[in-house]
Structure 1
Amino acid sequence: MTSPIVTQERPVASSPEAGTGLGRRRVCWHAGVLLAVLVGGLYLAHRHWAVLESGAGRLAGADQGWLLVGATAALGTWAASALAQQGAVVLRLPGSRLVAAQFAASAANHLLPAGLGAGAVNLRFLMRCGLPAGRSASALAVKAGAGGAVRLVLIALLAPACPGLLRLPHLTPTALAVALGCLVLLAALPATPWWVRCRRALSAVLADLRALHTSPARAADLWGGSLAFATLHSLVLISVTRAVGLPLPPLQVALLYLAASSTAALLPTPGGLGSLDAALVFALTLAGAPGAAAASAVLGYRLLTVWLPLLPGLLVLAVLVRRKAL
């Protein structure tokens, strides 16, 4: 008697064309948003060209001592970023290469939208240091979460010291009802693959946070580096405002920077290009700064944090890739 032939169904492999199509849609979406923001920025620059030209001239005659203070603070931001990244992993990372990777990541971050450049560089670096891909991605999420939490805490601490500077948006009952409905809808989502993956990723991040906080040194690195990063960026803008003679108190400038950078992070532009500039100029002018002085302060901040380090950062990135550190 012949035995029946048992056929085993093979799992259907995902089509590479589907993945390619999804990747193309994401690229097109990012490119569309980036193009829209850049077109809007060019329109605003054309409309307010006289203010920008006056601001550039004012920056050319700025106090060189304060600009040097701002440049020193800008250099410290990469060390602070390296400290926060070390605090996001238990494994001891090579210090010099870690700082170099943060410097290279900051340059790559201004070439790709929504922080993809910095994320890709840091992910490759952590994987080269021996961390699995999932653990490396979780470490990046831990660092980003700590940075966002530190910014919110600083805003909450500085807001009472600068009363009336920040105004909460007026929410209508309709907007509140829509937000409540969205929360209820998210809570009632079925166990779809997307939702399961999100819960799994969040569980991994929370587990890593708990593991890191069992080591006081790692917790101090994570939160201390995140605090230093936000503080030093605020100091860069404060120094530039002092250099151009902008009549705003330092605490107000720091609060305006934290609020503007947090808002600009919602737009997926390379390094906040366009979105952060517009948010900073709007915030400074809303606080009472003249338009030309606000424009010169933002130009100086961008000069110290983006344009001057961009080419050296790309050279460091090329060296790290050549030496297979990424």
Structure 2
Amino acid sequence: MRVDGRDITVTGSLLQPLTRRTNDILRLAMATLFLATVITSSLITRYEWVALERSISKIVGVLTPTQSNLVYLAYGIAILALPFVILVSLILSRQWKLLGAYAAAGLIAILSLSITGNGIAAPQWHFDLTDRLDTQLSQFLDDPRWIAMLAAVLTVSGPWLSRRLRRWWWTLLLAFVPIHLVVSAVVPARTLLGLAVGWFVGALVVLVVGTPALEVPLDGAVRALAHRGFTVSSFTVLRPAGAGPLLLNAASPDPDATAVVELYGPNQRSGGAVRQLWSKLRLRANETAPLQTSMRRAVEHRALMAIAIGDLGLASTSTMSVAALERGWTLYAHNPKRGLPLDSSTDDAGVQKVWNALRMLHDHQISHGDLRSREITVEDGAVLFGGFGSAEYGATDTQLQSDIAQLLVTTSALYDAPSAVRAAIEAFGRETVLTASGRLTKAAVPGRVRDAVPDAKAVMARARDEVKHQTGADQIQAETITRFTRNQVIQLVLLVALVYVAYPFISTVPTFFSELGTANWWWALLGLTVSALTYVGAAAALWACADGLVSFRHLAIMQVANTFAATTTPAGVGGLALSTRFLQKAGLSTLRATAAVALQQTVQVIVHVLLLILFTTAAGARADLSHFVPSATVLYLIAGLALGLIGGFVSVPKLRHWLATAVRPRLKEVTDDLVDLAKEPKRLGLIVLGAAGTTLGAALALWASVEAFGGTTSFVTVTVVTMIGGTLASAAPTPGGVGAVEAALIGGLAAFGLPAAIAVPAVLLYRVLTCWLPVFVGWPVMRWLTQNDMI
């Protein structure tokens, strides 16, 4: 590289990784969202869209037919000439390497809208202009492929051209919508689709090819350093631009003079802003530094903090230069870091020196915010700090407490927890350390600090225990850091899911209530009682699977909350997770709790299948069971899919390895549990009775609901219908099987000859007794279990 008559040697690659081009990724994401919006709105509101445009066109279409023809002709010429004007501009600006991207974007955009089932389709004009200028030129405004090509090449070429030209050309392209309205014509939906496809294709090509912002202005960096009296002779790339800045080592003719140059590109600016915004949304406002709206301000802040901390004699670097460069880049140059990292010089710097250095920072109301061992160095026994990207002058108490928690983690890992806590108390005092230790949690300690420490969870636990021991505190109340706790998020999701799954039921409430006037409430009361007893059976089965190591009463109460969790999550996944969590909180290990729940579910499935076979045989062949049997096509499809899955697992080595290492041990574990269970008849009998009671109790509740509306179906047939409905509930993708269960139960009862006038309200009453009432009761029960630390 030659700058101002001098040759500067550059060693290393300056290319930024594809996955770190934040601007290009955001552009592609917005283009994808726009394309999805256009497709969705076109499919859903196409006719309303056309009607709206016609009504608007009648209002703004004030031109006469002659004037409309002239406007349409002029705009058609401009649209036809636009791609050639862009091409000439690229040639005049000598952007030779961009010509390939220009051509690729245009061809891909045209081909993507030309491919049909019969191959590549030729242009087909479909815009009705019978009362307008009928020329081939005017039809360019209608062809979505031409609009897509224009949008694609403009997206690709725009970053390489002047901002003024880019704005004018985009305005010209997007003007096709108002111009159509002014000339009293309707914009075809396909034309907007062409615009969306073109932008998407262009954004994708830009991501691959790159923009001028990726070209590093090293010549500007050389001049900025020369202005500060540092003459650059060579650059060595220490780290390409990625998650952090482009890091370079700058050498000069003076062998004793070197500098570290950090170059922040536009992608760092947008990526950093996105990360800061996410932190603001996820954490409270006083947990994070103020949002920097520009990269230059962020770099300036870091340089000024280095100067401020350097005045205290605690900075490992000193600022040399900060400058704004071309194409949105910002330079930050400083002297090489002094001293050795703390993790390799713990003998030279005792833990007390580290804490005393932090105390000096805090005495001047400065927080560091990034107290990893790599940002702390030792020179001649003195502790120095580096980084300063998260440092704050005039820091809040929250930020100061966060510093103490971070340094507790770092020093506990480097030295030991007793020494670290003792030094912290000596430097800051008992109460301050005790308050700050409430932030020794995963949410409070930044991820970069936790990642720098081996087994950070265990380190934080040891530090908390040592703080309690040395301060004499009974417990440390964890500080609430996030705006929403994990339990609150889970409960919010469950409530939203509950509203979603309850909507189909709510829509049938008026009809259902009109039928309730004819119901026999004694039968309904019997169904409710039986439904309540099923929770006792489920609790008994799980209690026996857990070897009676948990409270049966609390286990029965948990089953009510389990209904809420299982109903608001697909396939009852939430119920299984809640049962496992309850057993863990009750004192069982994670492995034992998981095994107990798996054993209960296995026995439940076996009992369910055996009862289904038994009662189906008892029901006889007189009933019409075609409602439950899928069509031959569906059966063939299922069989083919099953055979394909088996063949895939047998032929693919990774899948075979997964079966051998993940599935087979768990299957063997469940099989061993069943064998051991068979050796304990009493325990096995209790589990089987509990599982059978759950299934038969649900069937008895449905039979009572049928009897409540005057039905005469036998208990055997109702049991068959209930078990098939339960099977569909576990397979249906909707939470709680809503929709699938009701349809299966109503169809099953009709197959056994029950009139729809009785089957429909009976099934709805059954679902109220066994699903919706327990769900609404389960919500406060689950909150009670949470408050008492049982889940």
Cα shift at 1:91:
4.5
Cα shift at 1:216:
2.1
Cα distance between partner residues in 2 of 1:174 and 1:117: 32
Aligned residues: 290
- Partner of residue 599, structure 2: 142
Structure with higher helix content: 1
Residues 55 and 294, structure 1, Cα contact 8 Å, conserved in 2: no
Paired amino acid for 2:738? L
Report which structure shows greater RCO (CA 8 Å, sep ≥6): 1
- Partner of residue 205, structure 1: 670
Matches within 5 A, 1:118-129: 118-129=575-586
Is 1:248 equivalent to 2:705 in the alignment?
A: no
Paired amino acid for 1:100? I
Cα shift at 1:236:
0.3
- Partner of residue 6, structure 1: none
Higher alpha-carbon deviation: 253-262 or 127-136: 127-136
- Partner of residue 766, structure 2: 301
Structure 1 residues 171 and 184, CA, compared in 2 at 3 Å: closer, same or farther?
farther
Cα distance between partner residues in 1 of 2:585 and 2:654: 34
Structure 1 residues 159 and 319, CA, compared in 2 at 3 Å: closer, same or farther?
same
- Partner of residue 321, structure 1: 786
Is 1:105 equivalent to 2:569 in the alignment?
A: no
Cα distance between partner residues in 2 of 1:127 and 1:285: 44
Cα distance between partner residues in 1 of 2:741 and 2:573: 17
Cα distance between partner residues in 1 of 2:712 and 2:540: 33
Higher alpha-carbon deviation: 109-118 or 176-185: 176-185
Paired amino acid for 2:514? G
- Partner of residue 25, structure 1: none
Structure 1 residues 159 and 182, CA, compared in 2 at 3 Å: closer, same or farther?
same
Cα distance between partner residues in 2 of 1:138 and 1:234: 28
Structure 1 residues 92 and 288, CA, compared in 2 at 3 Å: closer, same or farther?
same
Structure 1 residues 53 and 246, CA, compared in 2 at 3 Å: closer, same or farther?
farther
Cα distance between partner residues in 1 of 2:611 and 2:748: 17
Paired amino acid for 2:761? S
Unaligned runs of 5+ residues in structure 2 are 1-453, 455-493
Cα distance between partner residues in 1 of 2:533 and 2:646: 40
Q: Percent of counterpart pairs with the same letter? A: 28
Cα shift at 1:54:
4.5
Cα shift at 1:208:
2.2
- Partner of residue 194, structure 1: 658
Matches within 5 A, 1:212-251: 212-251=677-716
Cα shift at 1:87:
2.4
Cα distance between partner residues in 2 of 1:38 and 1:233: 20
SS at 2:790's partner residue? coil
Residues 113 and 271, structure 1, Cα contact 8 Å, conserved in 2: yes
SS at 2:653's partner residue? coil
Matches within 5 A, 1:15-164: 42=504, 54-164=511-621
Structure 1 residues 179 and 121, CA, compared in 2 at 3 Å: closer, same or farther?
closer
SS at 2:679's partner residue? coil
Residues 728 and 737, structure 2, Cα contact 8 Å, conserved in 1: no
Cα shift at 1:131:
1.9
Q: Rg bigger for which structure?
A: 2
Residues 729 and 738, structure 2, Cα contact 8 Å, conserved in 1: no
Taking structure 2 as the reference length, what is the TM-score of the superposition?
0.34
Cα distance between partner residues in 2 of 1:171 and 1:87: 42
Structure with higher strand content: 2
Taking structure 1 as the reference length, what is the TM-score of the superposition?
0.79
Cα shift at 1:284:
1.6
- Partner of residue 183, structure 1: 646
SS at 2:741's partner residue? helix
Residues 87 and 220, structure 1, Cα contact 8 Å, conserved in 2: no
Residues 603 and 691, structure 2, Cα contact 8 Å, conserved in 1: yes
Cα distance between partner residues in 1 of 2:748 and 2:563: 24
- What whole-Å deviation, never above 9, does each CA across 1:208-231 have from its counterpart, x for those lacking one? 222333322221121110011001
- What whole-Å deviation, never above 9, does each CA across 1:52-79 have from its counterpart, x for those lacking one? 7554422332101111110110110100
Please provide the CA RMSD for this pair.
3.0
